[in-house]
Structure 1
Amino acid sequence: MAGASVFLFLLASGVSFAFRGNGGIFLGAAGLFSFLLSGYGFYVGMKSFKEEQVSHRMSVLGSITSGGMLVAWLALFLIGVR
C-alpha cells in the first residue's frame, strides 16, 4: 500500500507539472485515494506488530513509508487550501 501511495504521488506530481497546475478533478481524486490508502497502510502496519514469531522488517518499512506519505499528502492538501 505504501508503494502504491508513493507511485500515485509521483504520478500526480508529474502530471500536475506537465499540465502546469491544471490537473483537474482526476488528480484530486487520485490524491484523496492515495491519502486514504496510505492511512489504511499505516493502520495495517501498526496492527501487524501484534503477530509473534515473524520478522517485523517489512512491517517497519511499510509503516514508516505509509506514515510519511500520509504526512506528505496532508501537507500538500493544507498547502492547497491556503
Structure 2
Amino acid sequence: MGHTSTNPELLARVRRIAGQIGAVEKAIVAGEPCATVLHRVAAVRGAVNGLLDEVIAEHLESHVAAPGLAAAERKAGADELLAVIRRYSK
C-alpha cells in the first residue's frame, strides 16, 4: 500500500491494541472464564476494525482523492485498496 506517514494517533491505536492483546494472553494463561476472554477478544476486534477504517481513510485521501494525482496514480491507489478489501473482508 505505498507510504503511510508517521501518524501519532495511529501509533497510539496500535499500542493500545498491543495492550489489549496482552490482556487476552493474560486471561488465557490465568484460566479466566470464557466470557472474559470473549469480551477481551471482541474489544481487540473492534479496535483493529477502527484502525483499519483509519488506515483506509488515509489511503483514500493520499492515494486516490488527493489533488494533483495523475489518473494512473489514482487507479493504482484504488486497485491497492480494492485488493486489500477483497483479500481480507471474507
Report the TM-score when normalising by structure 1: 0.50
Which one has a larger percent helix, Structure 1 or Structure 2?
Answer: 1
* Greater RCO, CA 8 A, separation 6+: 1
Larger radius of gyration: 2
